[in-house]
Chains A and B, each alone.
Chain A
Amino acid sequence: MSVLLAFAAAFLFATGTWMLLQRRLSRILIGVGLVGHGSNILLLMSGGDGGVSPIIDTADPSEFADPLPQALVLTSIVITFGVTAFLLALGFRSWRITHDDVVEDDVEDRFIARRHETDQAIAEEELAERDQAVEEGRR
């Protein structure tokens, strides 16, 4: 059982990571969800071997499965769920603005990169002009 869960977690991590590396926002969203589920399964497994559901008065406490990871994983699922919902809302908004779901580049980054290029272009131009002037002076 535990091996199966471990494989499930590994599979979710692997596919999720693959999806996260895509450029499409929708895939990134799916990837985030998959990786989140993978980590939740891992957390669920951390309690060790399974047992009877830990509900008071239903069985002997010594047979119980460890209840703490279950509580933790519930919290973590709720949080992942909430944030994923927020991300979906944000993606929806982004789609309404851009009509596309490709993650855009940072405008400012491109601006700075371009500034470097234009600086270089200007410098080269000036250099060329100076060379020309020198040439003309020689003549």
Chain B
Amino acid sequence: MSEPSNAPASHGTLARSRRMMLLDTSMKVLYPSILVLAMYFLLAGHNRPGGGFVGGLVVGGALALRYVSGGAQAVRSTFRLPPHLFLGLGLLMSASTAFVPVVLGGSILEHGDTTFHLPIFDKVKVTSALPFDIGVDLIVIGLILMAFAAFGEDVPDAPGAADDGSDAPSPALKIRSKP
């Protein structure tokens, strides 16, 4: 995580004059608390409201706040990993969790749960659906990161003459490989 205000004023960073101090400061409190809330939703979501999707959306909300306060650069610097890795790993995790029970002779998406007794937390119920939820969470985060990467940059207010549709693809779409 980088401090948005110290980031070099490169492409996609909001100019210092356009930033709101109130928002920047409150972000320091808000951002971690939102992430904790997201974590709660992710872990609570089996028999109670929550789940991977909701958790992912809440993380997405936190990212949106970062975007408002620091511009596309702030979102991009949130995680070290490229967005498509989140998406891929999440899908891999969900799809394989869904399929594991079939290998074990059950049917797809089947899951079980078990209850532990841990020192501080006392009763902890763990379900095998948790990896599935984490996968969904990662998919949502990956998608939101990609959306910010693709559409987060400031667009010229009026479509300029140079913008003839042959513009360079945005970073998220710029995943090229050597032929």
Q: Mark A91-112, 1 if CB is under 8 A from B, else 0.
A: 0100111010000000000000
B49 A89 Cβ-Cβ under 8 A: no
Say what secondary structure dominates the interface of chain A.
helix
- Interface extent on B, as a size class? 10 to 19
Q: What residues of A have a CB within 8 angstroms of the CB of B47 in the complex?
A: 55-57
A95 B150 Cβ-Cβ under 8 A: no
Contact residues, B72-122 vs A (CB, 8 A): none
How many residue pairs link A and B with beta carbons under 8 A? The number is 18
Across the two chains, which residue of chain B brings its CB closest to A56? Answer: B47
Across the two chains, which residue of chain A brings its CB closest to B158? Answer: A99
Q: What residues of B have a CB within 8 angstroms of the CB of A97 in the complex?
A: 164-165
B165 A89 Cβ-Cβ under 8 A: no
Contact residues, A58-109 vs B (CB, 8 A): 78, 85, 89, 92, 95-97, 99
Across the two chains, which residue of chain A brings its CB closest to B166? Answer: A97
A89 B159 Cβ-Cβ under 8 A: no
Across the two chains, which residue of chain A brings its CB closest to B54? Answer: A74
A85 B165 Cβ-Cβ under 8 A: no
Q: How far is the CB of B138 from chain A (nearest CB, A)?
A: 16
Q: What residues of A have a CB within 8 angstroms of the CB of B167 in the complex?
A: 96
Q: Mark B23-59, 1 if CB is under 8 A from A, else 0.
A: 0000000000000000000000001110001000000
For the complex, give the distance between the alpha carbons of A78 and B143 in Å: 13
Q: How far is the CB of A27 from chain B (nearest CB, A)?
A: 20
B159 A78 Cβ-Cβ under 8 A: no
* Of A55, A78, A85, A89, the contact of B48 (CB 8 Å cutoff): A55
For the complex, give the distance between the alpha carbons of A127 and B147 in Å: 61
Known A96-B163, A96-B167; further 16 A-B contacts with Cβ < 8 A: A55-B47, A55-B48, A55-B49, A56-B47, A57-B47, A78-B53, A85-B147, A89-B150, A89-B151, A92-B151, A95-B159, A96-B159, A96-B165, A97-B164, A97-B165, A99-B159
Q: Which 4 A-B pairs have the closest CB atoms?
A: A97-B165, A56-B47, A99-B159, A96-B163
| 18 sample A-B contacts, Cβ–Cβ < 8 Å, listed by A number | A55-B47, A55-B48, A55-B49, A56-B47, A57-B47, A78-B53, A85-B147, A89-B150, A89-B151, A92-B151, A95-B159, A96-B159, A96-B163, A96-B165, A96-B167, A97-B164, A97-B165, A99-B159
